[in-house]
C-alpha cells in the first residue's frame, strides 16, 4: 500500500501535460486500491483516486497552519467554487446547490423540513435505500400527531421502464382514491392549482423517487416519473445517490424535480463525506433549517427574513466544525476526470463495459442479466447468481439462511478471492450488482464469475446442506 | 507550504514523537509537535482546536485504521460505554437531542442568552414552526461579569419566574430523577427543557453547571448540557455523579482529536427518547441508541497517548490554567483594562479580557448592530492578516472583550504580543469608525 507524501512522485498523481493512458487496467495506477484487488463494487463507497488523496492531504496541512484564517477568511470562496462546478454538471444554478456530508443527510434535510400534517402521505418504494426508508418510517412513527402516513410502491425486478412508469402512475391514482376524503391541495409550485398566497393549504403528497436504485442497481425513468408527479400535484424528492458521475447529462433545469440529491463520493471521485443537495429557488422556502441548524438560520419573525428568506445557501455553508477537505477538493476530482477524457468518454467506456461485462458474467455463471433491453443500465450491471430460485417465499431459504448466505458471500469474496460486487436477495433470486469503472476490464468480470461459481457452490453445500 | 512533512513510519525528531524520550517543556518548544505556522501566535485554540502533528500524520496514512473506542472517552467523563456515542460535532449532538423530543404546544424550551449562536438557532427553529406543535422559547439573561453564586441565583430566579408566568400549564412531563415522575405516559402533559452551557463560548466561562443541573432536578426540568469546550479542558468531569439528562462535548477542541468529532452522552434512563439518529440510520428500529450511532472515533487512542506523554491531564491542566490566569493579567496590563473573571471561578484555559474600546451604558448608545459587525470584521482581518495572531472578540453587556486560549504550546510572551496587536487594532477601530 503506498503511503502518500505531500508531493506525489512521478506516476502517483497525474501530469496534466501528458496524455492519459487508455481506460482499463493501465488506469489502476491512479487509484489507491490494492494491486491484487479486483474491484467491481465502486458503487458502494467510491474509490478515491491518488490525485485526490494528495490534494486532500495538502489541505489538511494547509488548514492546520492557521485554522482561523482558513475557517474565517479562506473557506467560503473555495466552497463556492466547488458548488459552481457541481451546479454546472447537473444543469442547475450555483445558488440552488449546497454540499452536505452524504445523501442520507441530504434526504433527511428535505424530509425533516417539510412541516407534516395528519393526513399527509409520504411515499417510498420497496427498493428504497434502507436508511431512507427508515427516515420515512421514523417520521410516520411519531407517537402523536402530526405524522404523515407511509405508503410504498412495490417494484419487483426485472421490470422495463414502461412497467415502472405504469406501477408509479397506478400507485398515485390508488392513494388518491383510497384517501379521497383528504384535500391534497398543498401542491408543488409548478403544478396546477398552486397558489402562492393560499393561507390554509390542507394536505400534501411527497414521493421519494430513486433515479438509480441501490439493489438492484437500476436506472429508473425518473424524469418521466417527475413529470407525472408534477401533473398529479405530488412533491418529488429524487434520491440520486448514484447519479452524479454515472448518469450522463443530468439536466435538472429541464427535469425539474422538487428536490434532488447525489453523492459526489460515489461516482464523481470526490473524497468521502461529500454530497450535493439541489433545491430550486422556487422551493427553497421549504428548507427552513439546515441540519444541524446554523448560525445563518433566519427566523421568519425577524426583519432579515424579507431580504434573505430561508437563506438556503448561507445556512449550509457552516453547520458546525467538521472536516471540509472533501468539499473543497471537488474541483480536483473534476479536473482529473477531464484529463482522463471527460464525462462523455468516461460514460461511454463504463457503460459499454457494464453491458459487455454483465453479459460475460452471466455466461460464466450460467444465468442471466437483469436488464434485458438495456434501459436499466448506466454503469452498473445486475446479474443473477447461480443459487436456487424461489417462486414462493420460504420455499428454499429460511430468513436465517438468507442472512448467512449474504455474510458468507461477503467474507469469501473479499478475503479469499479478493474481489467484490454487491450481492442481494430480490424477488425470489440472488443477484449481484457490478460497477464498471475506468480501471476495470472484461477480464475482471470473468474473474468475478469464477469466484461466484466457487463461492455459491460452497454456500449451497454448507448453508443449504445440498450436494451440488 | 509545508513540503516534505509527509507521514513517516519512523519517529523522527520534530515530526512525530518518541514515547521513550521525555517531552520538551511546555511552551514555545512544544510548537514543533503542532502543525501551526511557525510565526503564527495562536491564542485561539478554543475555536477549532489544533491537530498535533503525530495525529495529523497518522490520519494521512492510507491504511489508517479508524478506531471505534468510546471506552476512552467514557472513562474520561465518568460514564458507561453504552451511554456514549460519537457524532460529527457539538451542533450535531445538540440537534440530535432537541429534534428527538416530541414537542407539544405549551412546552417551554429555555436557552441561555450567552449560548453559542448556532445552538440558540435550533431552539429558535423549533419554536418557529408555522403550525403546531411548537415549544415556546424563553431565555435566561446572563450579563457578565458574574460570579458562580450570581449565575446560580440568576438561573433559579428566572426559571421560577417563567414557571409562574406559565402557571396555567401542567408541566407534568418531568425527567425520571425528578419528584413527581410518573410512569403513566398519559399523565405526562407538558415539559420544560433547559439548554445549559457547561462552558459559555463568548465569554469563555466555566459555568457552575452541576449546581444548575441539581436545580433542574428539583424543578422537574430536563437538562441538556452544552459542554462543547469541556473535554480536555475541564478537569474531573463526572457525569455519573452530576447526572445531567444529556451532555455533549467537542473532542476536536481541547482533546486533540481530528475535526469533526464530538461526543454525546445519554444516560440509559433517557435513551428511549432518542428515537432516531440524525440522519436516520439503517439500524433504526425505534430505540436502539448505541447501535444507531456507529461512527468512527478518529484517533482517540492516539490523542490520549500523546496527552499522557506530555505529562497527563493534571500536568496539562496545571500549566494551561496558570498560564490562562497570568496571561490574562499581563494582557489586561498591556491594554490598560481588566480581566472579566475577578475571582478565578470562571476560568479554566480561556480567560476573557476587556478591550480598550468605548463602553456603552445603554444598549444602542454607541454601537449599532452594523457597527458591531464592522468592528468584528476589522478585528478578524487585522489580527490574522497583519499581526498573524488571533483571539476571539465579542461585544457583551456594553463592552468589548477578547477570549484567549492558553495551550501547551503557548507562553506569557504570546499574551504580550497579542496585547500589542490589540492596542494597535483598537486604535485603528477608533480612528476608522469613531472619527
- Whether B92 and B235 share a structural domain: yes
Which one of A66, A67, A320 has the shortest CB-CB distance to B91? A320
Over residues A429-460, the pLDDT tens digits come to: 999 999 999 999 999 999 999 999 999 999 99
B433: pLDDT strictly greater than 90: no
Interface of A with B in 23-82 (CB under 8 A): 32, 53, 57-58, 60-62, 64-69, 71-73
- Whether B75 and B174 share a structural domain: yes
CATH of the domain at B334: 3.90.1150.10
Instruction: Tabulate helix, strand, coil % of chain B (nearest 5).
Output: 40, 15, 45
- Spell out a b/e string for A305-315, using b for 16 or more CB atoms within 10 Å of the CB, else e: eeeeebbbbbb
> Among B22-26, B208-212, B320-324, whose mean pLDDT is lowest?
B22-26
CATH of the domain at B168: 3.40.640.10
Provide the number of CB pairs (under 8 Å) joining chain A to chain B.
184
pLDDT tier at A468 (50, 70, 90 boundaries)?
low
pLDDT value at position B68?
Answer: 47
Q: Is A373 on the interface with B (CB under 8 A)?
A: no
Cβ count within 10 A of residue A424: 18
Over residues A354-371, the pLDDT tens digits come to: 999 999 999 999 999 999
- Whether B133 and B162 share a structural domain: yes
Positive or negative, the CA dihedral B392, B394, B397, B399 is positive
- Whether B134 and B258 share a structural domain: yes
- Whether B89 and B204 share a structural domain: yes
Residues of chain B contacting A5 with CB distance shorter than 8 Å: 4, 6-7
> B388 is in which domain, residue-wise?
7-51+311-433
- Whether B44 and B94 share a structural domain: no
pLDDT value at position B9?
Answer: 36
In a domain, B64, yes or no: no
Query: Are A448 and A459 a contacting pair, CB within 8 Å?
Result: no
Q: Give the DSSP letter string of B369-384.
A: HHHHHHHHHHHHHIII
Positive or negative, the CA dihedral A77, A79, A81, A83 is negative
Over residues B331-377, the pLDDT tens digits come to: 999 999 999 998 888 999 999 999 999 999 999 999 999 999 999 99
Over residues B210-235, the pLDDT tens digits come to: 999 999 999 999 999 999 999 999 98
pLDDT value at position B287?
Answer: 61
Chain A interface, best mutation among B44, B106, B280, by max A CB count within 10 A:
B280
Report the distance separating Cα B44 and Cα A321, nearest Å. Answer: 15
pLDDT value at position B4?
Answer: 36
A428: pLDDT strictly greater than 70: yes
- Of B268, B302, B336, the residue at which a domain comes to its end is B302
Interface of A with B in 132-191 (CB under 8 A): 134-135, 137-138, 141-146
Identify any residues that bridge with A208 across adjacent strands, giving them in sequence order: A237
| Residue B262: CA count within 13 A, CB half-sphere | 27
Q: CB within 8 A of B365, min separation 6: which ones?
A: none
Over residues A162-174, the pLDDT tens digits come to: 999 999 999 999 9
As a whole number of Å, the end-to-end CA separation of chain B is 41
Q: What percent of chain B has pLDDT over 70?
A: 91
CATH architecture of A1-48+342-468: Alpha-Beta Complex (3.90)
pLDDT value at position B292?
Answer: 63
B312: pLDDT strictly greater than 50: yes
- Whether B24 and B146 share a structural domain: no
Over residues A278-305, the pLDDT tens digits come to: 999 999 999 999 999 999 999 999 999 9
CATH number of A78-333: 3.40.640.10
Backbone angles phi, psi at B354, to 5 degrees: -75, 150
Rg of chain B's alpha carbons, rounded to an integer? Answer: 23
Interface of A with B in 73-132 (CB under 8 A): 73, 101-102, 104-105, 107-108, 112, 115, 117, 130-131
Identify any residues that bridge with A422 across adjacent strands, giving them in sequence order: A433
pLDDT tier at B13 (50, 70, 90 boundaries)?
low
Q: Is B20 on the interface with A (CB under 8 A)?
A: no
pLDDT value at position B290?
Answer: 63
Over residues B255-264, the pLDDT tens digits come to: 888 888 899 9
Over residues A187-211, the pLDDT tens digits come to: 999 999 999 888 888 999 999 999 9
- Whether B270 and B419 share a structural domain: no
CA A100 vs CA A78, A132, A276, A320, B49: distances in Å: 15, 16, 6, 12, 22
pLDDT value at position A11?
Answer: 65
Q: Is B188 on the interface with A (CB under 8 A)?
A: no
- Whether B220 and B340 share a structural domain: no
Report the distance separating Cα B265 and Cα B314, nearest Å. Answer: 23
Q: Do A60 and B281 touch (CB under 8 A)?
A: no
In a domain, B329, yes or no: yes
Q: What is the dihedral of CA A78, A81, A87, A90, to 10 degrees?
A: -100
Report the distance separating Cα B323 and Cα A189, nearest Å. Answer: 59
Strands of the sheet with B399-403, listed across from one edge: B352-354, B399-403, B392-396
Number of domains making up chain B: 2
**Helical H segments across B107-206, by residue range:** 117-127, 148-165
Q: What grid cell was written down for B367?
A: 454601537
Which one of A68, A102, A292 has the shortest CB-CB distance to B95? A292
Q: With CA atoms as reference, report the closest residue to B432 among B382, B396, B388.
A: B382
Helix axes B300-310 and B53-60, enclosed angle (nearest 10): 150
- Whether B288 and B406 share a structural domain: no
CA B384 vs CA A73, B392, B399, B400, B421: distances in Å: 9, 11, 22, 18, 10
pLDDT value at position A104?
Answer: 95
Which one of A68, A73, A130 has the shortest CB-CB distance to B47? A68
Q: What percent of chain A has pLDDT over 90?
A: 82
In a domain, B211, yes or no: yes
Over residues B386-416, the pLDDT tens digits come to: 999 999 999 999 999 999 999 999 999 999 9
Chain A interface, best mutation among B279, B284, B392, by max A CB count within 10 A:
B279
In a domain, B89, yes or no: yes
Over residues B87-138, the pLDDT tens digits come to: 999 999 999 999 999 999 999 999 999 888 888 899 999 999 877 788 999 9
B6: pLDDT strictly greater than 60: no
Report the distance separating Cα B271 and Cα B290, nearest Å. Answer: 9
Interface of B with A in 81-110 (CB under 8 A): 88-92, 94-95, 99, 102, 104
- Whether B44 and B189 share a structural domain: no
Interface of B with A in 251-310 (CB under 8 A): 252, 258-260, 275-276, 278-282, 284, 286
Interface of B with A in 325-384 (CB under 8 A): 380-381, 384
pLDDT value at position A5?
Answer: 56
Residues of chain A contacting B129 with CB distance shorter than 8 Å: 115
- Of B246, B269, B302, the residue at which a domain comes to its end is B302
Characterize the bridge pairing of strands B262-265 and B352-354. unpaired
pTM score, two decimals?
Answer: 0.89
3-state SS class at A155:
coil
- Tell me the average pLDDT of chain B: 88
CA A116 vs CA A122, A136, A146: distances in Å: 9, 12, 6
Q: What percent of chain A has pLDDT over 70?
A: 98
- Whether B294 and B315 share a structural domain: no
pLDDT value at position A3?
Answer: 34
Residue of B nearest to A2 (CA): B62
Domains of chain A by residue range: 1-48+342-468, 78-333
pLDDT tier at B293 (50, 70, 90 boundaries)?
low
Residues of chain A contacting B380 with CB distance shorter than 8 Å: 72-73
Residue with cell string 491594554:
B335
Residue B354, min C-alpha distance to chain A (Å):
21
- Of B265, B282, B302, the residue at which a domain comes to its end is B302
Chain B interface, best mutation among A5, A134, A142, A150, by max B CB count within 10 A:
A134
- Tell me the average pLDDT of chain A: 93
Instruction: Tabulate helix, strand, coil % of chain A (nearest 5).
Output: 45, 15, 45
Chain B interface, best mutation among A61, A186, A208, A288, by max B CB count within 10 A:
A61
pLDDT value at position B297?
Answer: 46
Report the distance separating Cα A416 and Cα A447, nearest Å. Answer: 13
Rounded average pLDDT over B168-177: 95
B59: pLDDT strictly greater than 80: no
Amino acid at each position: 500500500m503506498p503511503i502518500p507524501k505531500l508531493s506525489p512522485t512521478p506516476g502517483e498523481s497525474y501530469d496534466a501535460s501528458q496524455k492519459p493512458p487508455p481506460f482499463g487496467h493501465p488506469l489502476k495506477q491512479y487509484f489507491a486500491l490494492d494491486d491484487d484487488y479486483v474491484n467491481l463494487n465502486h458503487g458502494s463507497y467510491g474509490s478515491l483516486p491518488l490525485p485526490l488523496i494528495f490534494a486532500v492531504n495538502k489541505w489538511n496541512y494547509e488548514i492546520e497552519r492557521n485554522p482561523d484564517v482558513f475557517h474565517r477568511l479562506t473557506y467560503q470562496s473555495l466552497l463556492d467554487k466547488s458548488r459552481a462546478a457541481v451546479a454546472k454538471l447537473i444543469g442547475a444554478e450555483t445558488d440552488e446547490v449546497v454540499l452536505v456530508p452524504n445523501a442520507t443527510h441530504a434526504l433527511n434535510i428535505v424530509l425533516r423540513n417539510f412541516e407534516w400534517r395528519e393526513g399527509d402521505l409520504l411515499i417510498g418504494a420497496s427498493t428504497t435505500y434502507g436508511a431512507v426508508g427508515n427516515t420515512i418510517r421514523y417520521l410516520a412513527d411519531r407517537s402523536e400527531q402530526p405524522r404523515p402516513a407511509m405508503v410504498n410502491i412495490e417494484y419487483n425486478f426485472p421490470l422495463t421502464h414502461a412497467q415502472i412508469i405504469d406501477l408509479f402512475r397506478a400507485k398515485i391514482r390508488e392513494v388518491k382514491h383510497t384517501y379521497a376524503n383528504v384535500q391534497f391541495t398543498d401542491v408543488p409550485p409548478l403544478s396546477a392549482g398552486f397558489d402562492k398566497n393560499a393561507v390554509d393549504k390542507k394536505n400534501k403528497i411527497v414521493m421519494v423517487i430513486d433515479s438509480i436504485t441501490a439493489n438492484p442497481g437500476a436506472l429508473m425513468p425518473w424524469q418521466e416519473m417527475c413529470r407525472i408527479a408534477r401533473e398529479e400535484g405530488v412533491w418529488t424528492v429524487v434520491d440520486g445517490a448514484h447519479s452524479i458521475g454515472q448518469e450522463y447529462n443530468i439536466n435538472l433545469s429541464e427535469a425539474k424535480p422538487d428536490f434532488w440529491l447525489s453523492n459526489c463520493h460515489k461516482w464523481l471521485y470526490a473524497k468521502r463525506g461529500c454530497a450535493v443537495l439541489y433545491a430550486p429557488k422556487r422551493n427553497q422556502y421549504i428548507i427552513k433549517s439546515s441540519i444541524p441548524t446554523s448560525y445563518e438560520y433566519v427566523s421568519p419573525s425577524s426583519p432579515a427574513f424579507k431580504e434573505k428568506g430561508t437563506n438556503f445557501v448561507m445556512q449550509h455553508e457552516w453547520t458546525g466544525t467538521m472536516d471540509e477537505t472533501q468539499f473543497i477538493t471537488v474541483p480536483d476530482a473534476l479536473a482529473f476526470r477531464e484529463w482522463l477524457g471527460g464525462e462523455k468518454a468516461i460514460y461511454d467506456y463504463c457503460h459499454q463495459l457494464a453491458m459487455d461485462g454483465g453479459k460475460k458474467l452471466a455466461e460464466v455463471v450460467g444465468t442471466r442479466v437483469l436488464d434485458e433491453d438495456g434501459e436499466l443500465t448506466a454503469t452498473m450491471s445486475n446479474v443473477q447468481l447461480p443459487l436456487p430460485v424461489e417462486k414462493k417465499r420460504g420455499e428454499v431459504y429460511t430468513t436465517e439462511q438468507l442472512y448467512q448466505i449474504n455474510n458468507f458471500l461477503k467474507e469469501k469474496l473479499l478475503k479469499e478471492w479478493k474481489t467484490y460486487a454487491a450481492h442481494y436477495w430480490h424477488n425470489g433470486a440472488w443477484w449481484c450488482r457490478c460497477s464498471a469503472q475506468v480501471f476495470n476490464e472484461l477480464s475482471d468480470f470473468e474473474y468475478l464469475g469464477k469466484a461466484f461459481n466457487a463461492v455459491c457452490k460452497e454456500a449451497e453445500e454448507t448453508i443449504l446442506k445440498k450436494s451440488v | 507550504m509545508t513540503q516534505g512533512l509527509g507521514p513517516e513510519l519512523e519517529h523522527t525528531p520534530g515530526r512525530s514523537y518518541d514515547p521513550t524520550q521525555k517531552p520538551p517543556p511546555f511552551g514555545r518548544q512544544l510548537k514543533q509537535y503542532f502543525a501551526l505556522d511557525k510565526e503564527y501566535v495562536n491564542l485561539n485554540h478554543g475555536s477549532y482546536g489544533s491537530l498535533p502533528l503525530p495525529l495529523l500524520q497518522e490520519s494521512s496514512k492510507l491504511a489508517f485504521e479508524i478506531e471505534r473506542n468510546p471506552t476512552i472517552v467514557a472513562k474520561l467523563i465518568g460514564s458507561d460505554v453504552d451511554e456514549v456515542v460519537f457524532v460529527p460535532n457539538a451542533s450535531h449532538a445538540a440537534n440530535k437531542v432537541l429534534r428527538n423530543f416530541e414537542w407539544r404546544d405549551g412546552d417551554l424550551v429555555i436557552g441561555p442568552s450567552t449560548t453559542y449562536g448556532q445552538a440558540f438557532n435550533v431552539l429558535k427553529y423549533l419554536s418557529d414552526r408555522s403550525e403546531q406543535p411548537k415549544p415556546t422559547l424563553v431565555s435566561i439573561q446572563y450579563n457578565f461579569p458574574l460570579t458562580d453564586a450570581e449565575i446560580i441565583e440568576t438561573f433559579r430566579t428566572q426559571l421560577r419566574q417563567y414557571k409562574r408566568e406559565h402557571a396555567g400549564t401542567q408541566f407534568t412531563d418531568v425527567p425520571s430523577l425528578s419528584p413527581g415522575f410518573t410512569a403513566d405516559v398519559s399523565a405526562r402533559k407538558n415539559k420544560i427543557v433547559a439548554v445549559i452551557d457547561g462552558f459559555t463560548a463568548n465569554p469563555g466561562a466555566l459555568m457552575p453547571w452541576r449546581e444548575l443541573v441539581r436545580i433542574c432536578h428539583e424543578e422537574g426540568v430536563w437538562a441538556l448540557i452544552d459542554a462543547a469546550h469541556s473535554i480536555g479542558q475541564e478537569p474531573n468531569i463526572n457525569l455519573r455523579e452530576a447526572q445531567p439528562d444529556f451532555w455533549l462535548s467537542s473532542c476536536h477542541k481541547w482533546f486533540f482529536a481530528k475535526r469533526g468529532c464530538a461526543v454525546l452522552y445519554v444516560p440509559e434512563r433517557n435513551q428511549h427518547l432518542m428515537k432516531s439518529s440524525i440522519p436516520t440510520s439503517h439500524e433504526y428500529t425505534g430505540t436502539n441508541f448505541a447501535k444507531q450511532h456507529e461512527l468512527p472515533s478518529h484517533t482517540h487512542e492516539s490523542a490520549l497517548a500523546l496527552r499522557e506523554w506530555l505529562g497527563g491531564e493534571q500536568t496539562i491542566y496545571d500549566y494551561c490554567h496558570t498560564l490562562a490566569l497570568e496571561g490574562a493579567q499581563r494582557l489586561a496590563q498591556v491594554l490598560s483594562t481588566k480581566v472579566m473573571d475577578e475571582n478565578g471561578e470562571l476560568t479554566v484555559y480561556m480567560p476573557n479580557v476587556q478591550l480598550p474600546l468605548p463602553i456603552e451604558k445603554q444598549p444602542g448608545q454607541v454601537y449599532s448592530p452594523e457597527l458591531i459587525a464592522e468592528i468584528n470584521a476589522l478585528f478578524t482581518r487585522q489580527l490574522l492578516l497583519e499581526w498573524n495572531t488571533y483571539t476571539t472578540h465579542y461585544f457583551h453587556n456594553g463592552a468589548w472583550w477578547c477570549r484567549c486560549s492558553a495551550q501547551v504550546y503557548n507562553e506569557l510572551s504570546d499574551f504580550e504580543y497579542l496585547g500589542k496587536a490589540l492596542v494597535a487594532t483598537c486604535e485603528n477601530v477608533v480612528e476608522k469608525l469613531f472619527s
